[in-house]
Amino acid sequence: MNLIIDILISGLISGSVFALLAIGFSLIFGVARIVNIAHTAFYMVAAYCIYFATHKMGFHPVWGMVAAIVLVTLLGMLSYMIFINPIREHEGAVLIATIALAMAFQEIMLLKFTGTYLSVPSLVKGYLVILGVKVFYQQLLTFCLASLIMAVLWVLLMRTKLGLAIRSTAQDREVANLMGINEARVALITMGISVGLAALTGAVVVPLTIVEPHMWMHPLIMMMAVVVLGGLGSLKGSFIGAYILGFAEALVVFLAPMGAFLKGSVALSIMILVLLIRPEGLFGVSFEEER
Amino acid sequence: MSLILFCLKKLFTILKNEAFVLPSRVIVVFFFLFLLLLPLFTKDPYLLRIFTLTSIFAILAASWDLLSGFTGQMNFGHALFFGVGAYGAALLNRHASIPPWGTIPLSALGAVLAGLIIGIPCLRLRGTYLALTTLAFPIILMGLVFAFPDFTGGELGISGIARLARSRVADYYIAVVLMLGLCTIMWKITDSHTGIIFHAIREDELAVRAAGINTTRYKLLAFCLSGFFAGISGGLYAHFMRIAGPSTLEVSMSFQVVIWAIFGGIVTIYGPVGAVFVLFPLLEFLRFWQDYRTLMFACIVLFILLYMPDGLFRWMRDKIEKECPRCKIRNVAMRHTCRVCTAPLD
């Protein structure tokens, strides 16, 4: 019984994290066709910002989080304007520009904070006992915040004019342009939202994880797996795919021997099996071929 | 005697009429000569070591170009082939004690098998889906490596593998000659009938299929060929470093290959090779600022891309050569008329 609750909590939390990351990633992919490898690097930068604000400057964690989200969003938009926008027509160049960006962020953090494992205090202390299992309030808070963010994002995308612009640009860039949508500006705003989501994810999850310069690698891989599993450009797909992979990871970690090593392998194998049956992912809309 | 004289004369004619008419070909000739003659001038083991590793990675980068550049099948998991090559060579050498000249081809065949295995599910995917899916395969294999440490050595890898050759210079020549040979073969493949079909698959797969060509078979062929060359480079790496560790399967390894290839310019073969010969020694050179090394590397890549998004070597080639508008033959940029059809170059 304890094991089941452990698995449930761990799966829900990693599922929410993957969902938030994957939604941000597929947003910018849909609108601007950018495969942003640096997406989770922004998540790492946000985590370091919070560490810096709380430990070095003595801010309250909540203000640290707000500052981190604002700063990282600005950083994301700035790097989009400087490095990605001028070469957007060259798909390959954009790809390695984002890889290089991620490497640069990792190195800067390594230089500034060294490679030691750091941690950030949780927002709320204490725990709750459910059926004999300790559930920290921080875990509950993380899950609730993640759900809240997803709800807000859904409203933004489905109920506002900006959301309409983003969705129509994702469907067909040229027609969206003809309808009077400033495509370049939508792309910039989407980049801001996408990076902001990555920063938010970092902010809500950072008290539960270890902060170190390589912390972006594992989420990156899982995020990409989620996006492919759910279907590129489908928010519902990302959401469900994230929980499938999150629970798969949790199950393997708690049940299989050597689980910690195999968790990535099993989750990715599930993705490949699903793709064998449905090549466009669970909820993917097969895009009209761009020729 | 007269035969030798004839051959020399023929070589001279070819050089004069084919090689020395274009600056890019002159550069290639000098590149070959430089690499083959380098040990005559310096026996510095450090320098030779750098160039050996550079040659090994040049094979890897060129093999990525063969698959992802020419056929357009974006592969983000090229480390899989490299890792299978390295681990295959290491295991065969340790457990079956086969010498390097046997393990490297065998492990390359293992990599071909890996290419088949990942090629089959990947045939149904395209574009970004394919790229993100292929990223998963080396990570799955790495999980298996960590899960069975008795057989694969786990985190430490397999060490104590036989050396490639007795001396550093011999190592150097094996790597360099193989690199030059294999890259020439790859270039020839891309120039052949098969290569044209690869090109066509990248441009418009539907049209190729409509022309009655079994694109599935050609895509699998591309995966296998690329896997073969990458496997050879993995085997060479394992025998040269005398260790096959999980670092050969890491995500950063896959990304590194993509950076090299796109930096040099894809769909060229010579681009990725040249890029490795620029970037890898550069990374070694930057070791004077040990802490800032990777940061500088990333910044150089970022800023060069801003000005040459098509790749460094394509940009350079377009600066020194012009294409004739009428007969599509390349000319030195200084000429005013085409060297073949005498049409005026603009």
Alpha carbon of A125: minimum distance to chain B alpha carbons (Å):
35
Q: Is residue A266 part of a domain?
A: no
Q: Is residue A69 part of a domain?
A: yes
Interface of B with A in 57-116 (CB under 8 A): none
Interface of B with A in 169-208 (CB under 8 A): 204, 206
Set of chain B residues whose Cβ sits within 8 Å of the Cβ of A288: none
Q: How confident is the model at residue A155 (pLDDT cuts 50, 70, 90)?
A: very high
Helix, strand, coil in percent for chain B, rounding step 5: 75, 5, 20
Q: Does B225 touch chain A (CB under 8 A)?
A: no
Looking at residue B92, its pLDDT comes to: 92
Q: Which amino acid belongs to residue B148?
A: F
Cβ neighbors of A231 (< 8 A, separation 6 or more) are A237, A241, A280, A281, A282, A283, A284, A285
Convert the pLDDT of each residue in A27-85 to its tens digit. Answer: 888 888 888 889 999 999 999 998 888 888 888 888 888 999 999 999 999 999 998 98
CA-wise closest residue to B135 among A65, A33, A217, A29: A217
Residue B330 pairs in a beta bridge with B323
Alpha carbon of A279: minimum distance to chain B alpha carbons (Å):
6
Convert the pLDDT of each residue in A86-116 to its tens digit. Answer: 888 887 788 888 989 998 999 899 888 887 8
**Is the predicted ipTM greater than 0.90, yes or no?**
no
How far apart are the C-alpha atoms of B332 and A183, rounded to whole Å?
Answer: 41
A81: left (phi over 0), alpha (psi -120 to 50) or beta: alpha
Q: Is residue A250 part of a domain?
A: no
Convert the pLDDT of each residue in A241-263 to its tens digit. Answer: 899 999 988 888 888 777 777 78
Beta strand pairing call for B243-244 and B158-159: antiparallel
- In the predicted model, residues of chain B with pLDDT beneath 70 are none
**Among A99, A245, A291, which would you mutate to test the B interface (most chain B Cβ atoms within 10 Å of its Cβ)?**
A99
Mean pLDDT of A199-213: 87
- Would the CB atoms of B133 and A272 count as touching at under 8 Å? yes
Q: Is residue A229 part of a domain?
A: no
Set of chain A residues whose Cβ sits within 8 Å of the Cβ of B142: 264-265
How far apart are the C-alpha atoms of B77 and B107, rounded to whole Å?
Answer: 18
Interface of B with A in 298-317 (CB under 8 A): 298-299, 301-302, 305-306, 309-310
Mean pLDDT of A172-194: 90
Q: Which residues of A65-88 are buried (b: 16+ CB within 10 A; e: fewer)?
A: bebbbeebbebbbebbeebbbebb
B331: left (phi over 0), alpha (psi -120 to 50) or beta: beta
* CB count in 10 Å sphere of residue B157: 20
- The answer to whether residue A208 scores a pLDDT higher than 80 is yes
CA-wise closest residue to B204 among A91, A291, A280, A286: A291
Nearest-CB residue to A101 (from B251, B258, B302): B302
How far apart are the C-alpha atoms of A213 and A208, rounded to whole Å?
Answer: 16
Looking at residue B210, its pLDDT comes to: 93
Which structural domain range is residue A29 located in? 14-214
Arithmetic mean of pLDDT over chain A: 85
- Would the CB atoms of A261 and B147 count as touching at under 8 Å? yes
- Would the CB atoms of B121 and A275 count as touching at under 8 Å? yes
Alpha carbon of B291: minimum distance to chain A alpha carbons (Å):
7
- Would the CB atoms of B295 and A108 count as touching at under 8 Å? yes
How many separate domains does chain A show? 1
| Under 8 Å between Cβ of B75 and B134 | yes
Nearest-CB residue to A103 (from B137, B294, B309): B294
Set of chain B residues whose Cβ sits within 8 Å of the Cβ of A217: 251
Six-digit token string for B165 = 């050759």
- The answer to whether residue A273 scores a pLDDT higher than 90 is no
- Would the CB atoms of B129 and A291 count as touching at under 8 Å? no
Query: Which has more confidence, A285 or B318?
Result: B318
- The nearest alpha carbon in chain A to B267 belongs to A92
Q: Is residue A199 part of a domain?
A: yes
Looking at residue A39, its pLDDT comes to: 92
Mean pLDDT of A221-226: 88
- Would the CB atoms of B125 and A281 count as touching at under 8 Å? no
Q: Which amino acid belongs to residue A229?
A: L
Convert the pLDDT of each residue in A16-35 to its tens digit. Answer: 889 999 989 988 888 888 88
Looking at residue A287, its pLDDT comes to: 52
Q: How confident is the model at residue A271 (pLDDT cuts 50, 70, 90)?
A: confident
Q: Where are the beta strands (DSSP E) in chain A?
A: 127-130, 133-136
Q: Does B253 touch chain A (CB under 8 A)?
A: no
| DSSP string computed for B184-229 | HHHHHHHHSHHHHHHHHHHH-HHHHHHTT--HHHHHHHHHHHHHHH
- The answer to whether residue A288 scores a pLDDT higher than 70 is no
